[in-house]
């Protein structure tokens, strides 16, 4: 059966002021089903936010395409929630106007009364009562602002919600509440969610599958539980090794996180883009780009996935589904 969202060979290039070409995304392909959450993780600068912006039409791809149920998506079909809740809301508008604005564009004949009823119902849905209708963003907490941003995104009844670091600026306890809220809306509506985050623990909590990006390319894509317990790509292993764990004994015995900074996307390494930081790199890694290929139930872009799994089969991550790993 066809996936709801199909992304194929997406490529984005930016030209710098000096005329150099920066490849922000390269050959990105994945599917997203209705009712599914795909987590997208990677260090900053890996292309996560560019991917979000392409999907909602804010950035034009240089190559590839995204289709929704086989057709080009309409703007209302894919909605975006940004990281900074206060900055993403117009400070001069009341909560009611902020949420109503996209609906007014979609249903211009809706009466003022019906509009307010719809907005109040959506506000209720995101856990804020109608007492918040006439408040301004500066009167709200960060978590309340993000609930309003979510209500504004959901009022258009999108089929895909893209959360670009949508909980990163919130306190840990509020993060959990917003993630649970998104999961609840998803269960009721069959919404597909692309959940972009650098917090691997919270991504694990909400995602059915996880996509790992590095320097604009996919390194690994697989079922969430399997990827967290048995990371196959050296970069996924390194990312997970950097997540804090509460147990000091386990913390002492785990492998080292990846060292150094990613190379500049203006001068990416030849072959495998991760090779300059990879402890398993061999000559072939500099000469040949590893294709994303099936391995052990996941898709992995690594020439040596089999060797690495055989040499270090205990690369499993312990821990529960929430909190630190
Ligand atoms: Fe490391 Fe080579 Fe695999 Fe890249 S292809 S992750 S450099 S072993």
* pLDDT per position as a tens digit, 65-108: 999 999 999 989 999 998 887 777 999 999 999 999 999 888 88
Nearest alpha carbon to residue 85 among 185, 187, 155, 174: 174
Say how far apart CA 186 and CA 220 lie, in whole Å: 25
Residue owning the nearest CA to atom 7 of ligand 1: 275
> What is residue 139's predicted lDDT score, i.e. its pLDDT?
95
Dist. CA 124 → ligand 1 center (Å): 49
Average pLDDT over residues 12-34: 95
pTM: 0.90
Say how far apart CA 190 and CA 72 lie, in whole Å: 20
Tokens of 313: 């089969």
Cβ(161)–Cβ(81) under 8 Å?
A: yes
What share of the chain in percent tops pLDDT 70? 92
Dist. CA 235 → ligand 1 center (Å): 9
Dist. CA 205 → ligand 1 center (Å): 28
Dist. CA 284 → ligand 1 center (Å): 9
Given a cut of 70, is residue 245 above it in pLDDT?
no
Given a cut of 60, is residue 319 above it in pLDDT?
no
Given a cut of 90, is residue 56 above it in pLDDT?
yes
Residue owning the nearest CA to atom 6 of ligand 1: 302
Q: Which residue ranges have their beta carbon within 6 Å of ligand 1?
A: 234, 272, 274-275, 278, 280-281, 285, 290, 302-304
Cβ(36)–Cβ(192) under 8 Å?
A: yes
Question: What's the Cα-to-Cα distance from 285 to each of 145, 270, 279, 281, 298, rounded to whole Å?
Answer: 46, 8, 11, 6, 20
Lowest pLDDT segment from 25-29, 52-56, 317-321: 317-321
Given a cut of 60, is residue 317 above it in pLDDT?
no
Lowest pLDDT segment from 25-29, 152-156, 159-163, 259-263: 259-263
Residue range 217-236, pLDDT digits in tens: 999 999 999 999 999 999 99
Say how far apart CA 322 and CA 304 lie, in whole Å: 31
> What is residue 169's predicted lDDT score, i.e. its pLDDT?
83
Calculate the average pLDDT of the chain: 90
User: 11 CB contacts (<8 Å, ≥6 apart)?
Assistant: 23, 25, 26, 27, 28, 61, 62, 63, 64
Tell me how many helices (H) and strands (E) the chain has. 11, 11
Cβ(148)–Cβ(89) under 8 Å?
A: yes
Residue range 159-197, pLDDT digits in tens: 999 999 988 888 888 899 999 999 999 999 999 999 999
Average pLDDT over residues 103-127: 91
Pocket test for ligand 1, best of 285, 287, 310 (most atoms within 8 A of CB): 285
Say how far apart CA 77 and CA 15 lie, in whole Å: 29
> Higher model confidence: residue 320 or residue 207?
207
Dist. CA 168 → ligand 1 center (Å): 30
Per-residue confidence band for 259, with pLDDT thresholds at 50, 70 and 90: confident
> What is residue 269's predicted lDDT score, i.e. its pLDDT?
96
């Amino acid at each position: 059966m066809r996936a709801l969202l199909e992304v194929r060979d997406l490529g984005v290039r930016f030209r710098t002021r000096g005329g150099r070409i920066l490849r922000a995304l390269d050959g990105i392909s994945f599917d997203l089903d209705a009712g599914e959450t795909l987590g997208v993780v990677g260090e900053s600068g890996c292309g996560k936010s560019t991917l979000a912006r392409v999907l909602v039409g804010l950035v034009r791809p240089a190559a590839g395409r995204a289709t929704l149920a086989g057709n080009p998506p309409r703007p209302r079909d894919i909605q975006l929630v940004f990281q900074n809740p206060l900055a993403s809301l117009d400070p001069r508008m009341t909560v009611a106007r902020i949420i109503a604005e996209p609906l007014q564009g979609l249903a211009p004949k809706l009466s003022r009364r019906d509009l307010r009823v719809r907005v109040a119902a959506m506000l209720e849905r995101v856990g804020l009562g109608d007492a918040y209708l006439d408040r301004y963003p500066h009167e709200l907490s960060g978590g309340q602002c993000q609930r309003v941003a979510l209500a504004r995104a959901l009022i258009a009844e999108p089929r895909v919600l893209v959360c670009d670091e949508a909980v990163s600026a919130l306190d840990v306890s509020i993060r959990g509440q917003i993630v649970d809220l998104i999961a609840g809306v998803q269960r009721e509506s069959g919404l597909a969610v692309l959940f972009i985050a650098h917090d691997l623990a919270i991504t694990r909590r909400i995602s059915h599958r996880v996509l790992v990006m590095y320097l604009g390319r996919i390194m690994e894509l697989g079922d969430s539980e399997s990827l967290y317990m048995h990371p196959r790509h050296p970069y996924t292993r390194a990312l997970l090794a950097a997540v804090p764990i509460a147990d000091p004994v386990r913390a002492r015995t785990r492998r080292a996180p990846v060292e150094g900074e990613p190379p500049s996307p203006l001068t990416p390494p030849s072959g495998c883009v991760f090779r300059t930081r990879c402890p398993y790199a061999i000559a072939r890694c500099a000469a040949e780009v590893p294709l994303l290929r099936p391995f052990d139930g996941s898709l992995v872009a690594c020439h040596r996935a089999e060797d690495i799994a055989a040499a270090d089969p205990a690369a499993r991550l312990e821990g529960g589904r929430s909190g630190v790993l």
